[in-house]
Amino acid sequence: MATFGTMSVVVLVPGYGGRVRAVERWRIEVALRTLRAHGGGQLVVSGHRGEAERLAAITANQNVIIEPTAQSTRENVEGSIPFFDDAPHIAVATDRFHARVAERYLIQIRPDLARRLVKPDRQWWRGWWIQAGGAGYPALRLARRVARGWRTLTQ
């Protein structure tokens, strides 16, 4: 287990497998602002197929922990738990809707750690379109599931 000394916050930055690299840069900006707002801490970047490594490369040589195996938001959270154990505060640097999903997983898996959650330093005027996309993504997934179910019923 890692010891982080006087660190104030551990910030999880979930990977992004989409093609819009601006989302990755925005998540790292949110993470770095969150670190500054809490007086320092540790970044944990998480994701498979190079997602975590791309995020780490954007951080400009910050001390970053790379969790390269997570293939889902739940796995991002599960793989980061060892780094949360000693943290007085925990944040998830992603859009509000994705963060809620990650926070729910943490509540299910480790409610004791979930009590340490703090809001990341998001600024609504920066990356507003990413936040809007995050709001639409759950609706898109639901529509796809309904469409698949509808096709199954009509065949």
pLDDT at 137: 56
- pLDDT of residue 55 exceeding 80, the answer is yes
- pLDDT of residue 42 exceeding 60, the answer is yes
What average pLDDT does range 3-22 have in this prediction?
Answer: 76
pLDDT at 62: 73
Greater confidence (154 vs 62) lies with: 62
**Alpha carbons 138 and 142: distance in angstroms, whole number:** 6
Q: Whole-prediction pTM value?
A: 0.77
pLDDT at 1: 36
**Alpha carbons 84 and 80: distance in angstroms, whole number:** 7
Contact between 11 and 93 under an 8 Å Cβ cutoff? The reply is yes
- pLDDT of residue 7 exceeding 50, the answer is yes
Mean pLDDT is lowest, of 19-23, 46-50, 81-85, 94-98, for 19-23
The domain limits of the chain are 9-154
- pLDDT of residue 133 exceeding 90, the answer is no
pLDDT at 130: 58
The CATH number of 9-154 is 3.40.50.620
- pLDDT of residue 138 exceeding 70, the answer is no
- pLDDT of residue 4 exceeding 60, the answer is no
| Distance of alpha carbon 14 from the chain centroid | 3
